[in-house]
Amino acid sequence: MLPTTLLLTTLFATAFTHCTRPLLASAVSAYLTAQLTGSLSPFTAYISNTTFLGYYENAINLPLSSSLIANPLLLTHNRTIYDLSSCATFTELVVAGPTNPFVIGTQLRFTNHKISKFWTSREAWDPIPISERDNADTIRKATDAYLDVFSNPNVTVPWGTPCVRLEGGLYGDPGVNGTCAGGVPTGVPMKRRRYVVDEEMGAVDVLLDFGKNLAKVPLENWSLTECPASDDTLYVGKRSFA
């Protein structure tokens, strides 16, 4: 079983200018350094003091000095995708400690070269050749089809072959004929979707409200507090795998 706990960090931005992959990569590198060492200074240099309004961990407003980032963690895996059109990143971290393992999902979003909000291996992850890449709109539509099928089983999802899903710590059939079409829950709306799309990697991360009654959503599902588009706020959610 993969880590017993999942922590999620997230950000929104308001306007994007001169966004480049090296810019995003340098900010992610600073974030990883901060998480490895527990020292916030490499990371806070990328946070805009004029727009950053707060850090939320499990929907509780905390100072960064009291955050998960301020605690050094031994990272055994990390992977990042980059969304240049939205000037955002998503980073997956695995902390496979013997007593308290974590999976951490982090979105960074930028305004004017600064972080404006912060929402805190089996596969080969190589860049897709340029001639074979889908554009961001195509990737997003495929993602929406996948999310829509949870509430409408008649939606056609462009599954690939082979296809394998990692869900709730369970890894599907990784064989040459593996399919993702089976075992999808029904009657589960996926609302307020926030995307990070990396065309180079053909990857997407989505933060969303999971299910109908968010007041009763179990810990293994996500819901995030409403965030006005002009605000800069860091959200962190937490879940445990069964």
| pLDDT in the model for residue 50 | 67
What are φ and ψ of residue 142, in 5° steps? -65, -40
| pLDDT in the model for residue 4 | 33
Structural domains in the chain, sorted by start: 5-129+201-240 (3.10.450)
- Residue 219's contacts (CB-CB under 8 Å, 6 or more residues apart) are 238, 239, 240
Alpha carbon distances (Å) from 181 to 57, 153, 185, 194, 198: 34, 10, 11, 24, 24
Residue written as token pair 């059939």:
173
d(CA 242, CA 169): 8
Q: For residue 136, which amino acid is it?
A: A
User: Would you list the DSSP string of 2-66?
Assistant: --SEEEEEE---S---S--HHHHHHHHHHHHHHHHH---HHHHTTB-TTT---EEETTEEE-GGG
Both tokens of residue 186? 């029904």
What are φ and ψ of residue 159, in 5° steps? -60, 145
| pLDDT in the model for residue 171 | 60
CA angle (114, 93, 101) in 5-degree steps = 135
Closest CA to 146 of 107, 90, 188, 86: 188
176 class by beta-carbon count within 10 Å (0-12 exposed, 13-18 middle, 19+ buried): exposed
pLDDT (tens, 9 = 90+) of the chain, 242 residues, equals 343 334 444 433 333 456 889 989 999 999 999 999 999 988 888 887 666 656 666 556 778 888 888 989 889 889 999 998 888 888 888 887 767 777 788 888 777 667 766 665 556 678 889 999 999 999 999 999 999 999 999 999 988 888 877 665 556 666 677 788 877 888 888 888 889 899 998 888 888 877 765 443 333 333 322 223 323 333 333 332 22
| pLDDT in the model for residue 13 | 35
Residue 157 DSSP SS3: coil
Helix (H) or strand (E) holding 145: helix 136-148
| pLDDT in the model for residue 5 | 36
- Residue 107's contacts (CB-CB under 8 Å, 6 or more residues apart) are 9, 10, 11, 88, 89, 90, 118, 119, 194, 196, 205, 207
| pLDDT in the model for residue 53 | 55
Both tokens of residue 177? 């004929």
